[in-house]
A = this chain, B = another copy of it.
Amino acid sequence: MSLHPTIAASRVEGTRVYNLTGEKLGTIDDLVIDKRNGHVRYAELEFGGFLGLGTDRFPLPWSMLTYDTEKDGYVVNLDMDQVRGGPRHAADAPRDYSEAYGRGVYDYYGAPWAI
């Protein structure tokens, strides 16, 4: 964790995500924001593919991501199978921005939902 408490969204996008054993899970493609209270709801993970085209996006609750300065990436306590078995949407599909969808993501990962 850096000494400074904030980071630009554009710097988060493209950052790698690792699990606790150091395995690279993917990279963050986008953040999804709650417009009412300005909370980051989740980070959307992608696993790669040419320019990320055609690959699915896997929303992770933001609270599960911890920045690791040595790795220059985020660490989550998840393995690949948990993520691959979780909520996903096609990269080019219209996103479901509803609260019900968000709650489903949080429920899957057992993260507390807080408005």
Copies of this chain, complex-wide, total: 2
Q: Given known contacts A4-B97, A97-B4, is B33 in contact with A12 (CB within 8 Å)?
A: yes
Q: Are A7 and B33 in contact, CB atoms less than 8 angstroms apart?
A: yes
Interface size class of A (residues with CB under 8 A): 20 to 34
Docked pose: A31 CA to B66 CA in angstroms: 19
Q: Given known contacts A2-B97, A98-B4, is B39 in contact with A38 (CB within 8 Å)?
A: yes
- Among residues of B, the one whose C-beta sits closest to the C-beta of A12 is B33
Residues of chain B lying within 8 A (CB to CB) of residue A30: 8-10
Q: Are B35 and A5 in contact, CB atoms less than 8 angstroms apart?
A: yes
Docked pose: A36 CA to B3 CA in angstroms: 11
Q: Given known contacts A2-B97, A97-B2, is B35 in contact with A8 (CB within 8 Å)?
A: no
What is the interface of chain A, defined by CB distance below 8 A to chain B?
A: 1-2, 4-10, 12-13, 30-41, 44, 62-63, 67, 95, 97-99, 102
**Told that A6-B41, A7-B33 touch, could you supply 8 new A-B pairs with CB distance under 8 A?**
A4-B99, A5-B35, A5-B97, A5-B99, A8-B44, A9-B9, A10-B13, A33-B40
